A and B are shown apart, each in its own frame.
Chain A
Amino acid sequence: MADPMRIRAAVDAGGVTEVKVLMSHEMETGQRRDAAGALVPAWFIQNVTATHAGKTVLSAQWGPAIAKNPFLSFRFKGAQKGDKVQVTWVDNRGDKRTDEATIA
Chain B
Amino acid sequence: MRIRAWYAGAIALAAGMVAATAAVGQDAASTAQEIEKYRQALQDGNPAELWEARGEGLWKKPAGPKNASLEKCDLGLGPGVVKGAYAQLPRYFADVDRVMDLETRLAHCRVTLHGLTPAQATARPFGSPDNRSDNDALVAWVTSESKGATMNVPSAHAKEKEAFALGEKIFYFRGGPYDFSCATCHAADNTRIRLQDLPNLTKQAGAQLAYTTWPAYRVSQGELRTFQWRLNDCFRQQRFPELGFASDASIALTAFLARNANGAEFKAPTIKR
Contact = CB atoms under 8 A, between A and B. Distances in A.
B129 A22 contact: no
A20 to B, nearest CB: 6
B50 A24 contact: yes
Interface stretch (B41-49, B91-99, B261-269): B41-49
Contact of A73 (B45, B49, B53): B45
A3 B222 contact: no
Contact of B50 (A6, A67, A73): A6
A68 B44 contact: no
Contacts of B239: none
Contacts of A73: 44-45
B42 to A, nearest CB: 8
B39 interface: no
B233 to A, nearest CB: 20
Contacts of A4: 53
A71 B129 contact: no
A71 B50 contact: no
Contact of B44 (A3, A20, A24, A69): A20
Interface in A20-35: 20, 22, 24, 26
B54 interface: yes
Interface residues of A, number: 13
A22 B45 contact: yes
Contacts of B129: 26
A10 to B, nearest CB: 13
Contacts of B53: 3-4, 6
Interface string A58-84: 000000000111011100000000000
Interface in B115-157: 129
A69 B222 contact: yes
Interface string B198-234: 0000000000000000000001001000000000000
A69 B54 contact: no
Given A24-B47, A68-B222, A73-B45, 6 more contacts: A22-B47, A24-B50, A26-B129, A68-B47, A69-B47, A71-B45
13 contacts: A3-B50, A3-B54, A4-B53, A6-B49, A6-B53, A20-B45, A22-B46, A22-B49, A24-B47, A26-B129, A69-B50, A69-B222, A72-B45
Interface of A: 3-4, 6, 20, 22, 24, 26, 67-69, 71-73
Interface of B: 44-47, 49-50, 53-54, 129, 219, 222
The 5 A-B pairs at the shortest CB distance, nearest first, are namely A71-B45, A69-B47, A68-B222, A24-B50, A6-B49
